[in-house]
């Protein structure tokens, strides 16, 4: 098995970027979700409430992030704000120090998304603690929901697409619906459920728990709109935690009815690089 | 060993981070910021990205020239670092009568839980 895709999502919930290789940092893959948009109340913003966020593109440039959206001039956001206000940013109840941009950067995003918002950056010496059940000590994560990396097997996507093909009208999902960082060219659907420790190239990762999926998977990533109840409706018929990891969902602190798709990972090889084409070796299974 | 430290926090504005580094005050009434000597009632547990030792903090105390760096100070710092390892990043803590860190109530603005 090999890696077929590596994706990063520099600004949480905006469009992702496919890359050929990525450096593994303590918080996750380099540039992945180190930036976050907060609303006027200081609450983190995602496609769950603002699906249009999916349509804002981000590219990495030498001098910062190039952000583009329809109907407005593109803007380069410096990697780190200069003299920005330091704040405490919170995502799903866990907090981190962050630095705010303010000024024109916030105005750009507010205009694009149609609501007042502000962009913040998580510096290297900040981070959010991961779930204590899976924390080996000082494991931290960027502004990603809960864990530094998400891995999905191609065969898993093929499996849900096979089921959705029978729907009327037929639905076919792209991998970006599930926003993985690492995609593996598996041949067995949901093989990743049972991976406990894996090696990608020279880098070792331990899995934490399957990813519990939410309403964001129902957002069409190209249109930035909710498009019905799929794939959650179909996944809930055969991918509930109580069915697919019945022997361990309790010890993972998961709801029995959590809809599982993809495997959350924590890297043990900080500083290593992973590349598309790297071999994936299963070191330990459940 | 821990990678966490305490930053000052204004309980009236918990979303605003204030630069600085706290240690427990000698009289157990709260914390003091090591560069300014200013007193604070509460601290925010922050991640530093690297292991923090008693010596790291003592060096800054010596540089600030605001506190004596004696055995008692070292003990207070050591006790604080030991306890910090058991707190979560983002916790807001106060100081108990025996120099123990005490988790204070979380501010009201806490958005739900991660879907699990």
Q: What is the structure's pLDDT at B106?
A: 63
Average pLDDT (B51-74) is: 90
Kindly indicate the confidence band of residue B19, based on its pLDDT and cuts at 50, 70 and 90. Answer: confident
Q: What is the structure's pLDDT at A78?
A: 98
Q: What is the structure's pLDDT at B113?
A: 65
Task: Please report residues of B whose CB lies closer than 8 A to that of A140.
Answer: 47, 89
Q: What is the structure's pLDDT at B40?
A: 95
Percent share of chain B, pLDDT over 90: 55
Q: Does B89 touch chain A (CB under 8 A)?
A: yes
Q: Does A44 touch chain B (CB under 8 A)?
A: yes
Residue whose token pair is 């790297």: A278
Kindly indicate the confidence band of residue B50, based on its pLDDT and cuts at 50, 70 and 90. Answer: confident
CB neighbours of B16 closer than 8 A, spacing ≥ 6? A85, A86, A87, A88, B10
Q: How many CA atoms lie within 13 A of A128 on its CB side?
A: 28
pLDDT at B108 > cutoff 70: no
End-to-end CA distance of chain A: 18
Strands B101-103 and A35-39: unpaired
Q: What is the structure's pLDDT at B109?
A: 52
DSSP chain B: -EEEEEEE--TT-TTB-----EEE-TTSSSEEETTT--EES-EEEEEEEEEE-HHHHHHHHHHHTSS---HHHHHHHHHHHHHHTTSPTT-EEEE-TTS-EEEPPPPS--------
Give the chain A residue whose CA is nearest to the CA of B48.
A125
Q: What is the pTM of this model?
A: 0.89
Instruction: Report ipTM for this prediction.
Output: 0.70
pLDDT at B114 > cutoff 60: yes
Task: Please report residues of A whose CB lies closer than 8 A to that of B111.
Answer: 43-44, 90-93
Q: What is the structure's pLDDT at B110?
A: 53
Helix (H, G, I), strand (E, B) or coil at A259: strand
Q: What is the structure's pLDDT at A254?
A: 94
pLDDT digit string (tens) for chain A, length 286 residues: 999 999 999 999 999 999 999 999 999 999 999 999 999 999 999 999 999 999 999 999 999 999 999 999 999 999 999 999 999 999 999 999 999 999 999 999 999 999 999 999 999 999 999 999 999 988 999 999 999 999 999 999 999 999 998 877 778 899 999 999 999 999 999 999 999 999 999 999 999 999 999 999 999 999 999 998 999 999 999 999 999 999 999 999 999 999 999 999 999 999 999 999 999 999 999 9
Residues 163-222 of A with CB under 8 A from B: 209, 212-214
Q: Does A90 touch chain B (CB under 8 A)?
A: yes
Rg of chain A (C-alpha set): 18
Supply A132's token pair. Answer: 């204590």
User: Given A126, A129, A253, which is nearest B88 (Cβ)?
Assistant: A129
Task: Please report residues of B whose CB lies closer than 8 A to that of A148.
Answer: none
């Amino acid at each position: 098995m090999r890696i077929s895709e590596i994706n990063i999502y520099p600004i949480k919930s905006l469009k992702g970027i496919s890359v050929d290789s990525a450096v593994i940092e303590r918080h996750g893959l380099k540039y992945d979700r180190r930036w976050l948009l907060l609303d006027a109340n200081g609450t983190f913003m995602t496609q769950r409430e603002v699906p249009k966020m999916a349509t804002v593109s981000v590219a990495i440039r030498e001098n910062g992030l190039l952000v583009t959206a329809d109907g407005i001039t593109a803007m380069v956001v410096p990697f780190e704000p200069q003299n920005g206000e330091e704040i405490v940013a919170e995502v799903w109840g866990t907090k981190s120090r962050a630095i705010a941009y303010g000024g024109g950067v916030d105005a750009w995003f507010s205009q694009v998304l149609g609501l007042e918002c502000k962009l913040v950056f998580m510096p290297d010496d900040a981070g959010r603690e991961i779930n204590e059940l899976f924390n080996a000590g000082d494991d931290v994560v960027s502004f990603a929901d809960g864990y530094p990396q998400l891995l999905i097997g191609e065969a898993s996507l093929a499996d849900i697409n096979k089921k959705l093909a029978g729907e009327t009208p037929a639905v076919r999902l792209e991998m970006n619906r599930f926003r993985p960082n690492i995609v593996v060219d598996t041949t067995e659907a949901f093989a990743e459920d049972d991976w406990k420790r894996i090696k990608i190239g020279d880098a070792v990762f331990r899995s934490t728990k399957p990813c519990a999926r939410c309403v964001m998977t129902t957002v069409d990533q190209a249109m930035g709109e909710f498009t019905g109840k799929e794939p959650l409706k179909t996944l809930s018929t055969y991918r509930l935690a109580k069915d697919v990891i019945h022997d361990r969902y309790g010890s993972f602190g998961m709801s029995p009815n959590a809809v599982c798709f993809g495997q959350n990972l924590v890297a043990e090889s900080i500083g290593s690089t992973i590349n598309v084409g790297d071999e994936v070796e299963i070191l330990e299974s459940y | 060993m821990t990678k966490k430290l305490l930053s000052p926090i204004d309980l009236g504005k918990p979303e605003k981070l204030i630069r600085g580094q706290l240690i427990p005050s000698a009289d157990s009434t709260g914390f003091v910021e090591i560069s300014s000597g200013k007193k604070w009632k509460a601290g925010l547990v922050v991640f530093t990205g690297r292991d923090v030792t008693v010596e790291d903090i003592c060096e800054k105390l010596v540089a600030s020239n605001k506190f004596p760096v004696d055995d008692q100070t070292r003990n207070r710092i050591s006790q604080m670092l030991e306890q910090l390892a058991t707190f979560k990043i983002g916790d807001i803590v106060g100081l108990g009568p025996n120099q123990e860190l005490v988790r204070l109530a979380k501010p009201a603005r806490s958005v739900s839980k991660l879907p699990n």
